Chains A and B, each alone.
Chain A
């Protein structure tokens, strides 16, 4: 391409018309270099789970199964039975949010149970993220919900049951986007 051609393209972009050489002016068009992803590629990377349960994988787990995994892989950072120390406390704190010393835990604060699964699977254990099996993540989720008094001792968590769990603090979140017209 000659320098004269470049100048012509630039001018066409400025005036918002169409130029030759395949350039569309008026919008910023890219060179279309994206390669189409296969379903297997997408499935391998898509680890997000929505509050309606979208994205939850097959598998299941109970609080008692979760207790065993927790003691091995979580307790060193989060304390016995989610009591916290040296890192975040996971259990208790209900009724403290309006006090001078609020305690934010899964039970007192988190608005969606699916988030526990999503977060544990993507980021925990801190030193070995994305190493837990789906059954282990379901079991840990069940254990933490049970310790917080949200599900029963023998309730099994799965793609079917987890999205049906309602978290106690959910109604205390005020969504401020999009902003209301004043």
Chain B
């Protein structure tokens, strides 16, 4: 059923210049150089998707990465998902300050120019909104693309200063256990961060994919907490207050808590659980016909490194291990691909990821039975796509 080989593609489009004719691009010189490049004009439909705002606002909401149009593991910065709580602020880096205070020996103020002189690390990590994939809590399958369903995850190379370095400079009190992080946006977005995470792998990110952060990703400086729910990686970071206990901000109490079926709520659900999704083929695509097709998808875990991705084409009765594409990095998107010889009969595609803690992505039915339909956040059940005999691919619960 799962065989090796390559899909035969190639549909001849109208007006194509077939050999032996010489294409027009070879008969006149091309365009000149440009200061900042853009995608090919023929790719203009590859954009962020399902852009939605709170009523009466233009900047409280989210946009999603078009996962089904991308390959590899690095998300172009311009297609990185967005989640803002009161829009994207316009911040002049020369005016921006970061204050570190609270339970420290010396409260300190840093300008951005100062931060740029600190030792830096570069790490490839995914960032995922805890509300990603929430449409799968619905009782019926959402009639939207892979990106519209799962595109609140993106992956970048983040470069910045280990947070530990600044905390050590300020001199953290030994009894301090938490840090309140606050943004310079109009929501003054704020979350309490455990000191253990801050001293472990937290980064004050200044660069994304080699260039300075995009405004919508926290320019000029953001917190970055590898593997943890996205809203904790506070953008436009202006203040870090070292404290003894969580501040219990709106976003860590009434917003990003997970209401279970029994009416109780889980609080401080920080790491994003092991998950995967097949991005090609996926909802909205049509397979051109039987034969060899490439199945391609992404897997990730906020708790570690992807160990295995199993793929099924019969709705989960049988599974085959998909090859993982190097590099396979902790808390980063991992690409899996495998060839599939489609016989033209109806099929149901699934992927199931396992991380190096041994955690296995659960079936959707089991996940919803455990957590109910109203948790909104931290959905990591298995995604199924049905392939009809005519080749149409649709979201299905199976």
The answer to whether A42 touches B248, judged by C-beta atoms less than 8 angstroms apart, is no
The answer to whether A129 touches B188, judged by C-beta atoms less than 8 angstroms apart, is yes
The answer to whether A87 touches B56, judged by C-beta atoms less than 8 angstroms apart, is yes
CB within 8 Å of B: which A92-117 residues:
97-98, 100, 102, 104, 106, 109-112, 114-115
The answer to whether B249 touches A118, judged by C-beta atoms less than 8 angstroms apart, is yes
Q: Provide the residues of chain B in CB contact with A52, threshold 8 Å.
A: 245
Q: Pick the most buried of A35, A123, A129: most chain B CB atoms within 10 A of its CB.
A: A123
Q: A173-B257, A173-B267 are in contact. Are A122 and B245 (CB under 8 A)?
A: no
Q: Provide the residues of chain A in CB contact with B247, threshold 8 Å.
A: 48-51, 118
The answer to whether A28 touches B119, judged by C-beta atoms less than 8 angstroms apart, is yes
- Chain B 241-279, CB-CB to A under 8 Å as 1, else 0, gives 101011111100110010101111111111000000000
The answer to whether A173 touches B166, judged by C-beta atoms less than 8 angstroms apart, is no
Q: Provide the residues of chain A in CB contact with B125, threshold 8 Å.
A: none
CB within 8 Å of B: which A61-117 residues:
77, 86-87, 97-98, 100, 102, 104, 106, 109-112, 114-115
The answer to whether B264 touches A42, judged by C-beta atoms less than 8 angstroms apart, is no
The answer to whether B86 touches A129, judged by C-beta atoms less than 8 angstroms apart, is yes
Q: Give min CB distance, B123 to chain A, whole Å.
A: 14
Q: Chain A contact residues (Cβ within 8 angstroms of B): what range?
A: 35 or more
The answer to whether B180 touches A123, judged by C-beta atoms less than 8 angstroms apart, is no
The answer to whether A46 touches B241, judged by C-beta atoms less than 8 angstroms apart, is yes
CA distance A47 to B248 in the complex (A): 13
The answer to whether B250 touches A115, judged by C-beta atoms less than 8 angstroms apart, is yes
Closest to B55 in A: A86
The answer to whether B186 touches A174, judged by C-beta atoms less than 8 angstroms apart, is no
The answer to whether A100 touches B249, judged by C-beta atoms less than 8 angstroms apart, is no
The answer, yes or no, to whether A6 is at the interface (CB within 8 Å) is no
Q: Provide the residues of chain A in CB contact with B257, threshold 8 Å.
A: 173
Q: Pick the most buried of A32, A109, A122: most chain B CB atoms within 10 A of its CB.
A: A122
Contact for B99 among A42, A110, A111, A130, CB less than 8 A: A42
Q: Give min CB distance, B389 to chain A, whole Å.
A: 36
Q: A51-B248, A86-B55, A87-B56 are in contact. Are A35 and B241 (CB under 8 A)?
A: no
Given contacts A112-B248, A174-B267, 10 further A-B contacts (CB under 8 A): A34-B106, A42-B99, A48-B182, A51-B247, A106-B254, A110-B253, A118-B247, A122-B188, A174-B266, A176-B267
The answer to whether A50 touches B245, judged by C-beta atoms less than 8 angstroms apart, is yes
Q: Chain B contact residues (Cβ within 8 angstroms of A): what range?
A: 35 or more
CA distance A106 to B249 in the complex (A): 13
The answer to whether B180 touches A48, judged by C-beta atoms less than 8 angstroms apart, is yes
CA distance A34 to B182 in the complex (A): 18
The answer to whether A30 touches B187, judged by C-beta atoms less than 8 angstroms apart, is no
The answer to whether B107 touches A172, judged by C-beta atoms less than 8 angstroms apart, is no
Q: A31-B117, A37-B109, A104-B254 are in contact. Are A126 and B264 (CB under 8 A)?
A: no
The answer, yes or no, to whether B170 is at the interface (CB within 8 Å) is yes
B residues contacting A by CB (< 8 A) are 54-57, 60, 85-86, 99-101, 106-110, 114, 117-119, 161-162, 164-166, 168-170, 180, 182, 186-188, 190, 194, 196, 238-239, 241, 243, 245-250, 253-254, 257, 259, 261-270, 373-374
The answer, yes or no, to whether A41 is at the interface (CB within 8 Å) is yes
Q: A28-B162, A86-B56, A176-B269 are in contact. Are A37 and B101 (CB under 8 A)?
A: yes
The answer to whether A115 touches B248, judged by C-beta atoms less than 8 angstroms apart, is yes
The answer to whether B55 touches A110, judged by C-beta atoms less than 8 angstroms apart, is no
The answer to whether A173 touches B265, judged by C-beta atoms less than 8 angstroms apart, is yes
- Chain A 155-182, CB-CB to B under 8 Å as 1, else 0, gives 0000000000000000011111110000
The answer to whether A122 touches B190, judged by C-beta atoms less than 8 angstroms apart, is yes
CA distance A4 to B85 in the complex (A): 50
Contact for A30 among B118, B245, B246, CB less than 8 A: B118
Q: Provide the residues of chain A in CB contact with B114, threshold 8 Å.
A: 31, 33-34
Q: Provide the residues of chain B in CB contact with A123, threshold 8 Å.
A: 85-86, 186-188, 250
The answer to whether A28 touches B165, judged by C-beta atoms less than 8 angstroms apart, is yes
Contact for A126 among B57, B109, B165, CB less than 8 A: B57
Q: A29-B119, A37-B99 are in contact. Are A119 and B267 (CB under 8 A)?
A: no
CA distance A123 to B56 in the complex (A): 15
The answer to whether A33 touches B188, judged by C-beta atoms less than 8 angstroms apart, is no
The answer to whether B264 touches A28, judged by C-beta atoms less than 8 angstroms apart, is no
The answer to whether A41 touches B161, judged by C-beta atoms less than 8 angstroms apart, is no
Q: A30-B166, A36-B107, A176-B267 are in contact. Are A98 and B250 (CB under 8 A)?
A: no
CA distance A98 to B345 in the complex (A): 42
Q: Give min CB distance, B221 to chain A, whole Å.
A: 14
CA distance A110 to B255 in the complex (A): 9
A-B contact pairs, 20 of them (CB 8 A): A28-B164, A30-B161, A32-B169, A34-B100, A35-B109, A36-B108, A37-B107, A45-B238, A48-B182, A77-B56, A87-B55, A111-B248, A118-B250, A123-B86, A123-B188, A129-B86, A173-B253, A175-B268, A176-B269, A177-B269
Contact for B254 among A42, A47, A50, A110, CB less than 8 A: A110
The answer to whether A172 touches B263, judged by C-beta atoms less than 8 angstroms apart, is yes
Q: A48-B182, A129-B187, A177-B270 are in contact. Are A112 and B109 (CB under 8 A)?
A: no
Q: Give min CB distance, A82 to chain B, whole Å.
A: 14
